Each structure stands twice: as C-alpha cells, then as structure tokens.
Amino acid sequence: MKILIATIGTRGDVQPYVALGRELKKSGHGITICTCAHFEPFIREHGLDYSYVNNDFINFMHSPEGKTILGNARSIWKTLATLGSVIPKLGKLQERQMSDVWVAIKEYAPDLVLYHPKAIGVPDFAERLGVPCMLAFWLPMYVPTASFPAMGFPELPLGSGYRLLTYHLIRRILTIMSKRVRTWRTQNGLSPRSPGLMMQLPDGRPIPTLHGFSRHIIPPPKDWPETAVVTGYWFLNQAEHWNPPQSLTGFLAKGEPPVYFGFGSIFGRDPKRVTQVILEAVRRTGVRAILATGWGGLESVVSAPSGSVMYIEDAPHEWLFPQVSVIVHHGGCGTTAAGLLAGKPNIICPFFGDQPFWGRHVERMGVGPSPLPQSKLTVDRLCCAIDTAMNDSAMRENAARLGRSLREENGTSNAAAFITRWMGNN
C-alpha cells in the first residue's frame, strides 16, 4: 500500500509522522512524507521518501511579523492586531501551500492519505482522486465528545452541551476560513461544500482519526465512534545511531543530574531575556543546568557560570532526558511526551497553541508544577517551580510511575494496526 503523509509546521509537527512512517514501512508499505523542504534531509535520513512543499511557513515564523505573533500569543487582541496587517501575506502563503500539497498527492497517487490539520485541503484532494484519508493528530479537537471541551476551550461548569458546542465552533471557524478550499473544489468539479471540514468522508461516514497521545493522560471518551482511536504517542528513537559528544557525557558525569532547559523550535521576541532569567534562577537554586539553544528559543551567554551550566544545540530527548533531574520546556506535545516518558517532573513554560493545554495536564496529574507562561516568566517564579520539582517527593513518584506506564505503550504499532485493519475493511 502506498501511503502519503501530509503535514505543515515545525519539527514537532513532522517528527511524530516520521516515527509512524517508519513503523508503517516495517509492515511493507511505501511511505512518502509531504512537508516543508527544510525537513527533507531529516525525513530521508530515516529511510522515508519525501514530497515537496515550500518553506514559506517556516520563513514566516522567522520573520519579524511571525516573531511578533509568537511573542503576543497569550493576548488574543494583540495577536489579532498583528494578524490584521499580515492576512494578505498569509493568504498567499496558504495558496502556495495548497498548490504544492495537491501536486504531491496527485503525482504520488497514494492508496491512503494521512494528514495533519494544518495541511489544508487534504481531504478535498483525496476526494478528488477517489482515495481514502485519515486524520492523524495528537490533540482532541475535531471528534466531538461530551466528556471534555475541544482543546483551546476552558473547562467550564456548563455541562455536556457546552462541551459539544466547542467542537461545533471549531468546525464553524474552519468553514468560515475555508474560502480557498471552496474555490479549489469548484475549480476541480466538486461541490463547494467540503465534507472534510465536517470530519466526514464523501459517503457521509466519519473520517477515521488517529489520536497520537496516551490513554494514561487523556482516556478515550466512551461516546467516540469506533473510527476515533487513542493509539499512544508516536515516539522516534533518534538515539539509535547518535554518539554524544565527550563534553556532554563529561558534564553529566561530573555531578548531580542537571535541570534541562529548552524550547525546541519555538522562539519569542526576546530569547536573551529568557536566557538571563534561567541563568539567574540556576544561580539562586544552585542546580546544574543544560541549556538547549535549538532554533533560537535560548541564546548562549558568555557570562554563564561555566562549571554549572552547559550549552548544547540539541540532543535526542530519549537519550538525554532520563539523565536529568527536571525538564523545563515550552510544552509542545512531542517534548511533553518525551519528558513524561523519561519519568521526570516537567515544568511547562508555554508560548501558545496546545502548550498551555499540556501544561494543565502535567499539573493535573501531579507530575509538574503549575505552568509558567513565557509572558509571565520571572526569576522568582522559575526558582519556586524548580524547587518544587526537585524536592516534592510525591511529584517525583508520580512522574516515575507515569513514565513506566508510557514505556509499556507502543503508539506507532497501535496506529499501524488500526490503519491496516480499517483499510482491510473498506
């Protein structure tokens, strides 16, 4: 079976699909991942084929407008004010993205398409070619349930009607924003109304949905259809062929396990300020620290105390996280999953999107302190969070217990089995 996986975004929006793709390839399927050209070497390095999408999304994130949006992400009014001036640019970006993904799917002629919601138009492209599609995502946002509101909405004491309404609102917003999808459908001989926006296949059945998170963190609701499954996380073991530098292994061996700080592919407007806050908190608490600079979320500072702080660009989470004491990060789904898998307390410092959502779950499960939003990150608050994560024995026991449970799951295998079963029955 030929399977194309379409996704747009940062490293965290690509890596889980590489893990899933490798598992599917082991089962004998041909796998192509269609995403921004920036990730082509990463995809091919893991033995998967690649289809082209331009780098417009990534370039926009690194632009002054993109950094401003990220910096204001906690304020909806400031975000809207910034978006107002860049909507025309985003519209053109979306058109080019849709065009590239459509060409990739048409040329590859897959038997099945898996997609990330940011890969706009994929269900419509699949409909036009007469092939099935499946949503593969790690957030509960699109399949309605009365058990909890859609990600991004607060848990209010308004009952099941409110919770179901949140999913309707998401679909309504997507419909309002789907002008280019409607135009594309009309140009390609389809009805302007997209069943994909209603999470339906052309024949009216629900679009199958793989949820790439753990049932130990979000149990599957009883009112979900059989086509919506919670598989477990899609982990990619990048430590298989990775040789750590001697400087890193030497630092780890010199003393107590350090605290890890890293914000992955996410960056705000002032990474230098955030780095200074971290260094002062490290000095006050007396912990050792590893700072991962990533794509620019943190900056190397010459004045950092060399004996207790080490800078790295990055390192495989599955190798490094088990060797640290506490993991401080932005709260992206993949990093949160890796932190919890390691069985260590997590301190979430969210920017936007799903990051506050995972921060609240970490707090709810007692495996980390309350989230510290980036806009409110101070030395005092970070010191308090580090002290709690280091010294709260119940929190550390909870984290270790959850880590053991996650290590017993095999999300990629569960997802591959569902795909094979569903395709065999349809």
Residue 1's pLDDT band (cuts 50, 70, 90): very high
Lowest pLDDT segment from 10-14, 132-136, 304-308, 422-426: 304-308
- Asked whether residue 171 falls in the same domain as residue 258, the answer is no
Q: Is the pLDDT of residue 65 over 80?
A: no
- Asked whether residue 275 falls in the same domain as residue 171, the answer is no
How many domains are there within the chain? 2
Residue 305's pLDDT band (cuts 50, 70, 90): low
Q: What is the pLDDT of residue 86?
A: 64
Percentage of residues of the chain with pLDDT beyond 90? 74
Residue 77's pLDDT band (cuts 50, 70, 90): very low
Q: What is the pLDDT of residue 293?
A: 85
Domain range for 389 is: 246-407
**Mean of the pLDDT values across residues 28-45?**
96
Q: Is the pLDDT of residue 129 over 90?
A: yes
DSSP string, 219-237: PPPTTS-TTEEE-------
216 found inside a domain: yes
Q: Is the pLDDT of residue 100 over 90?
A: yes
Helix (H) / strand (E) element for 2: namely: strand 2-6
- Asked whether residue 131 falls in the same domain as residue 253, the answer is no
Which distant-in-sequence residues (6+ apart) come within 8 Å of 259 by Cβ? 282, 287, 288, 289, 290, 324, 325, 326, 327, 328, 386, 390
Q: What is the pLDDT of residue 76?
A: 44
- Asked whether residue 189 falls in the same domain as residue 218, the answer is yes
330 found inside a domain: yes
At 3 the three-state DSSP class reads strand
CA atoms within 13 A on the CB side of 101: 32
Q: Determine the angle formed by the axes of helices 76-108 and 64-71, rounding to 10 degrees.
A: 120
239 found inside a domain: no
- Asked whether residue 206 falls in the same domain as residue 292, the answer is no
- Asked whether residue 43 falls in the same domain as residue 192, the answer is yes
258 found inside a domain: yes
400 found inside a domain: yes
DSSP 139: S
What's the sign of the alpha-carbon dihedral 258, 264, 266, 270?
A: positive
Tokens of 253: 């061996």
Q: Is the pLDDT of residue 277 over 70?
A: yes
Q: What is the pLDDT of residue 234?
A: 97
CA atoms within 13 A on the CB side of 45: 13
Q: Is the pLDDT of residue 63 over 80?
A: no
Q: Tell me, rounded to whole angstroms, the distance of Cα 42 from its chain centroid.
A: 17
- Asked whether residue 198 falls in the same domain as residue 301, the answer is no
Q: What is the pLDDT of residue 75?
A: 46
240 found inside a domain: no
**Domain of residue 221, CATH code:** 3.40.50.2000
pTM for the predicted model, two decimal places? 0.90
Q: What is the pLDDT of residue 267?
A: 53
307 found inside a domain: yes
Q: What is the pLDDT of residue 201?
A: 93
94 found inside a domain: yes
Tokens of 70: 């990220």
Q: Is the pLDDT of residue 206 over 90?
A: yes
Quick check: 33 and 141 in contact, CB under 8 A?
no
> Alpha-carbon distance 325 to 333, whole Å?
20
- Asked whether residue 267 falls in the same domain as residue 206, the answer is no
DSSP string, 298-346: S---TTS-TTTEEEES---HHHHGGGSSEEEE---HHHHHHHHHTT--E
**Mean of the pLDDT values across residues 334-357?**
93
Q: Is the pLDDT of residue 67 over 70?
A: no
Q: What is the pLDDT of residue 284?
A: 95
Q: Is the pLDDT of residue 181 over 60?
A: yes
Q: What is the pLDDT of residue 134?
A: 97
Residue 121's pLDDT band (cuts 50, 70, 90): very high
Type of residue at 67: K
Higher pLDDT pick, 282 / 175: 282
Q: Return the CA Rg of the chain.
A: 22
List the beta bridge partners of residue 36. 53
**Mean of the pLDDT values across residues 134-143?**
95
> 105-122: string of b/e by CB count within 10 Å (b at 16+)?
beebebebbbbbbbbbbb
Q: What is the pLDDT of residue 324?
A: 97
Higher pLDDT pick, 11 / 44: 44
- Asked whether residue 386 falls in the same domain as residue 417, the answer is no
The whole-chain average pLDDT of the chain stands at 90
Which of 43-47, 192-196, 307-311 holds the top average pLDDT? Answer: 43-47
> Alpha-carbon distance 340 to 349, whole Å?
15
**Mean of the pLDDT values across residues 359-386?**
95
Q: What is the pLDDT of residue 84?
A: 56
> Alpha-carbon distance 389 to 399, whole Å?
10
Quick check: 44 and 28 in contact, CB under 8 A?
no
Q: Is the pLDDT of residue 107 over 90?
A: yes
Q: What is the pLDDT of residue 11?
A: 87
- Asked whether residue 213 falls in the same domain as residue 351, the answer is no
- Asked whether residue 331 falls in the same domain as residue 366, the answer is yes
DSSP 130: T
Q: What is the pLDDT of residue 66?
A: 67
